[in-house]
Structure 1
Amino acid sequence: LRSRGLIAVKVWCLVILLVFTFLGGVSPYFYRWNEAFLLLGTQFAAGIFLGTALMHFLAGSTSTFNALTHSPYPFSFMLACAGFLLTMLSDVAIVAVANRQRVNQAAPIQKEAEEEGESASAAAHAHPMLMTATSSFEDAILLIVALCFHSIFEGIAIGVSATKGEAWRNLWTIGLHKIFAAVAMGIALLRMIPKRPFLMTVLYSLAFAVSSPVGVGIGIAIDATAEGPAADWTYAISMGIATGVFVYVAINHLMAKGYRPQQPNYFDKPIFKFLGVLTGIAVMSVVMIWD
């Protein structure tokens, strides 16, 4: 690490991420958020994520690689592709596991119905609570695992930050997304399992809140064990991979899926979503003037 002050800043980032993400996750249990705010805020966060990935992470990785090697090979862009594919692969694996579990658990119900001379639809009617509970629980686990996996890689970006300013800027970028994601996750879980006790709300939110701080800790450990050129290589590689992770999350999770209002909403239109993303990118473009 460069200094004790830098370590302290990263630890503060870790604590701030943990506290505010946790509070965002449990907040829907107590407070009904404005859906237009969440809808547009998620798209704004997508713009922040995309702008950070391309203007900050990718640019930093590219310039560091250029200083380390004279090879014309586009290392940072290759690593960005690797980060994108790695995140995509994690989503594919999680969905495949969840779908297989759904099939395995639905088979006994269908078999029982066939033995009694009933159709599969009749079986679903005969066991509505069982099938709904199973599906909701799996959806909740899938949501948590996917969010936590991405969040760990996002946290690493803070942990390997080279300066205090960069650490605070990465905290702002990631924290903005995490708070919106935590609130949206809390609302989604309330829809999936509306009768779950408060303890489950706390456990789900804590699992999501801890993921990014874990990534920050990993990043700090990586940075602490690397010195000289090794530290520069670590930074360049980490930022390249983080670029791909951020681009995937921005496009496939925030823009494509985003927050879905429970009720029809005037702002749930492509033009407003575009303006939300545009605003996020514009903000990052201005911030990068002082980078």
Structure 2
Amino acid sequence: MEPLLGVKIGCLFALLVLTLICGLIPICFKWFQTDRATGRHRRILSLLGCTSAGVFLGAGFMHMTAEALEGIESEIQKFVIQNRTKSKGNSSDDADSSNVEYPYGELIISLGFFFVFFLESLVLQCCPGAAGRSTVEEQEWGMAPGLELHSHGPLPSPSQSPLRALILLLSLSFHSVFEGLAVGLQLTVAATVQLCLAVLAHKGLVVFGVGLRLVKIGTGSCWAILSILSLALMSPLGLALGLVVFQGDSEGGKGLAQAVLEGVAAGTFLYVTFLEILPRELAGPEGPLAKWGCVAAGFAFMAFIALWA
């Protein structure tokens, strides 16, 4: 038990340090600031942003959504089996089997998506001026009014970006807690190290993308550093919780509640990815095929990591 505990403590510090380093790199180095970039430097940052968008897309589909669907399905099956054994009814088998076949996981993820959609719609309803897009922003992204037809659609308004950045951080925080919890609940050293390496491999890229996103939307340095620090603490927090409840399996609906929360977090993450990150990165006149290649490369890397995650 002592070697396993030592490995888990080492994983805790590795998750904390790597997340901090990867998240603070775009914030602390002026090279990543798009407002000071011109020419080739700006194009490189644009392609780097597209790669991070692909990473977000891969993390949303290959990790968060996949894990949420698997967790919700397994927990619902456990719940149905427990009800069958308790009631021992002879006429409820058909109803139970049809309930299991219903796409509950997809429904919960969609509820997370629509929750953020409703939240932003409520903000825009209460603040109608937030829907506008300034000409300064169009010029910043190289989009003259006459070239608007060649873009991929209007960019999200500046007032929505902080809200979406907050939602992005919250959804990733939920997911990070559950990742750390999974590492903390492993029973062997080999399984702990394998899962921790898989988490580290995609966590570093995702947090780097978060830092880059905070820089692009103009978040102040203090708030950006505080956001990365809070995000970095989530996986170690989950791992510590896993150590505390090492022997405790999902009892009394606790596992189902965790799976539902992870599903809602996946839905919110997908909303921000498709309506904030991808539109901003794909907007702009330079290199559509190069941008597609960067997005595809980021997604492919996350799909490759999913073989071990």
Query: 2:268 matched to 1:252?
Result: no
**Which SS does the other structure have where 1:251 is aligned?**
helix
- Post-superposition Cα deviations, 1:242-272, rounded to whole Å, max 9, x if no partner, equal 33233223322222333766xx52x2x2x44
2:297 maps to 279
Contact 1:156–1:218, Cα closer than 8 Å, also in 2:
yes
1:6 maps to 8
Question: How far 1:46 sits from its partner (Å)?
Answer: 3.1
Distance 1:144 1:94, change over 3 A: farther
Question: How far 1:96 sits from its partner (Å)?
Answer: 6.3
- Post-superposition Cα deviations, 1:130-163, rounded to whole Å, max 9, x if no partner, equal xxxxx98x67855654443344234223233244
Query: 2:238 matched to 1:215?
Result: no
Task: Say which of 28, 31, 35 aligns to 2:30.
Answer: 28
Question: How far 1:21 sits from its partner (Å)?
Answer: 0.8
- Post-superposition Cα deviations, 1:18-42, rounded to whole Å, max 9, x if no partner, equal 2321222222367755224323313
Task: Say which of 188, 191, 199 aligns to 2:217.
Answer: 188
Task: Say which of 51, 64, 67 aligns to 1:41.
Answer: 51
Distance 1:245 1:170, change over 3 A: farther
Question: How far 1:176 sits from its partner (Å)?
Answer: 1.4
2:73 maps to 62
Query: 2:21 matched to 1:19?
Result: yes
2:265 maps to 242
**Which SS does the other structure have where 1:229 is aligned?**
coil
TM-score by length of 2: 0.60
1:51 maps to 62
Matched length: 241
Distance 1:87 1:78, change over 3 A: same
Consecutive unaligned residues of structure 1, counting only runs of 5 or more, are 104-134, 191-200
Query: What is the CA–CA distance in structure 1 between the aligned matches of 2:170 and 2:123, rounded to whole Å?
Result: 10
Question: How far 1:238 sits from its partner (Å)?
Answer: 4.1
Distance 1:216 1:259, change over 3 A: farther
Query: What is the CA–CA distance in structure 2 between the aligned matches of 1:283 and 1:30, rounded to whole Å?
Result: 22
Query: What is the CA–CA distance in structure 1 between the aligned matches of 2:240 and 2:123, rounded to whole Å?
Result: 28
Contact 2:120–2:160, Cα closer than 8 Å, also in 1:
no
Question: How far 1:234 sits from its partner (Å)?
Answer: 5.2
Task: Look up the equivalent residue of 2:111 and give its one-letter code.
Answer: A
Query: What is the CA–CA distance in structure 2 between the aligned matches of 1:92 and 1:212, rounded to whole Å?
Result: 26
Query: 2:306 matched to 1:288?
Result: yes
Contact 1:26–1:205, Cα closer than 8 Å, also in 2:
no
Query: What is the CA–CA distance in structure 2 between the aligned matches of 1:20 and 1:286, rounded to whole Å?
Result: 20
Consecutive unaligned residues of structure 2, counting only runs of 5 or more, are 82-95, 132-156, 187-191
TM-score by length of 1: 0.63
